[in-house]
Amino acid sequence: SFKGSGYVRGGIFDRLQLSQDGIQISFRDVDYYRLSDVYAAGMPEFSEMAIFIVRDNYQFNPAAPWQIELLVRRQTGPVESIFVTFEGQYQLPDYLLVQPDPVAADLEVDQPMWVGIWQQRSFQIGVLLVSLLLLTGIIFLQDWLVRYPRLLHNLRRGFLIYTVFFLGWYALGQLSIVNVLTFTHALMGEFRWELFLMDPLIFILWGFTAATIVLWGRGIFCGWLCP
């Protein structure tokens, strides 16, 4: 039996272990599941079969080569025994492995983290850019819109609702004094664009707000983007 005396005494399999990259993987009774029958064509008959679970703490890589070690004891006398270790190497066949394209893998490694974030949030970025384009149109047409106060008020209410629900609650892109302090501290220390590019909505809003403050003062931000 591959269970050994250690299993009987304390639930430890002292005859069977795996090794990979110099790490020894041992098993206990909680890692053991006994098999009674396996229906597989061409499979030889075994008197004892089991499934062993490799726990996460070993960081076992099933795609990499590994080795199974079985310690066999043979009694040669009343109290004398000899032990022999049988080892077997194994690696999954290549046809069972799906490997990434080497070129794509290299591009993924070289790609900055903020690029992936911008790609993941492309929908939110698109909606934000459309809304800012609409707001820019309202700004340039304000002399005409003031002739229709009801239309202007409805546009502003609708935009503020969009700001609260989409920018504030859904996209979490509402500007605040925290963003100002972060930018100020970055200027006083080691400034890195990557820090601000990690949040695309805040970055775009900061750029738009800075441009409108220079051209029209803080009325655009306070009246439309900060309800």
Tens digit of each residue's pLDDT (9 = 90 or more) over 80-135: 878 888 889 999 998 888 876 665 555 555 677 888 889 889 999 999 999 999 99
CA distance 41 to 39: 7
CA separation for the pair 87, 81 (Å, rounded): 20
69 versus 74: which is more confidently predicted? 69
Phi and psi of 90, rounded to 5°? -150, 145
| Amino acid in position 83 | F
Residue-level pLDDT at 186: 63
65: DSSP letter: -
Q: What is the C-alpha separation between 138 and 154, in angstroms, rounded?
A: 12
Structure confidence by residue, pLDDT tens digits, 12-58: 888 888 999 989 998 888 888 888 888 778 888 888 888 899 998 88
Give phi and psi for 185, each to the nearest 5. -65, -35
Domain boundaries, the chain: 4-96, 102-225
The one-letter amino acid at 131: S
pLDDT tens, 196-223? 788 888 888 888 888 888 888 888 888 8
Q: What is the pLDDT of residues 148-203, one digit of tens each?
A: 989 989 999 999 999 888 988 888 877 766 666 666 666 666 667 777 788 888 88
Residue type, 84: V
